[in-house]
Amino acid sequence: MANWLINKLPPIMTAKNHTFADCPLTPENFAEFITLIYKNKINSKNAVEILVRMVESGGDPTDILEDQGLRLLENVSDIEPIIDKIIKDNPDQVDQFKKGKTVILQFLIGQVMKETHGKANPKMAEDLFIQKLT
């Protein structure tokens, strides 16, 4: 939370010509925003976009999340076919992972994020890869 409050929020407020005194962002909405991040409902890229919109309009982060279609894919049934495709399309990387090169997992997760335009829950993707490859 401190990172968002100290490092992320002030530059956005400055860019939008707001101070803490006149910013339409409420403490309640900021707390809800942090909760969305904590519960992995949004990734950091989408979080910045939501925070910008909150500073602009004072909007509710959940409403902005839904209105802009920024919610992460959270159902295994949405992500599993993509994971299966990436495993099939990357046999060399899968082999390297199975031989102990665990950093390959980040490459595979990156492929999921690319395929879903950043909407996959990276933790869920990681868990599914580990489940399928071990």
Give the tokens for residue 5: 């409050």
How far is it, in rounded angstroms, from Cα 108 to Cα 60? Answer: 34
Query: Does 56 share its domain with 86?
Result: no
Higher confidence at residue 75 or residue 89?
89
Query: Does 60 share its domain with 11?
Result: yes
Domain end call among 31, 46, 67: 67
- In the chain, the percentage of residues whose pLDDT exceeds 90 is 76
Mean pLDDT over 39-49 rounds to 87
Query: Does 9 share its domain with 55?
Result: yes
Here the CATH number for the domain that contains residue 129 is 1.10.10
**What does the pLDDT read at residue 133?**
94
> Which residue blocks in 16-115 are alpha helix, DSSP H?
27-38, 44-57, 61-67, 76-89, 91-98, 104-115
Query: Does 92 share its domain with 47?
Result: no
**Domains held by the chain: number:** 2
Mean pLDDT over 66-71 rounds to 86
Closest listed residue to residue 23, CA positions, set 46, 72, 47, 57: 57
Contact between residue 118 and residue 46 where contact means Cβ atoms under 8 Å apart = yes
Mean pLDDT over 19-44 rounds to 91
Query: Does 81 share its domain with 110?
Result: yes
Question: What's the CA angle centered on 133, arms 39 and 75, to 5 degrees?
Answer: 35
Helix axes 104-115, 91-98, angle to 10 degrees: 140
Mean pLDDT over 116-125 rounds to 88
Query: Does 82 share its domain with 47?
Result: no
How far is it, in rounded angstroms, from Cα 31 to Cα 20? Answer: 15
**What does the pLDDT read at residue 105?**
96
Q: In which domain, by residue range, is 121 found?
A: 76-133
Query: Does 96 share its domain with 51?
Result: no
**What does the pLDDT read at residue 43?**
82
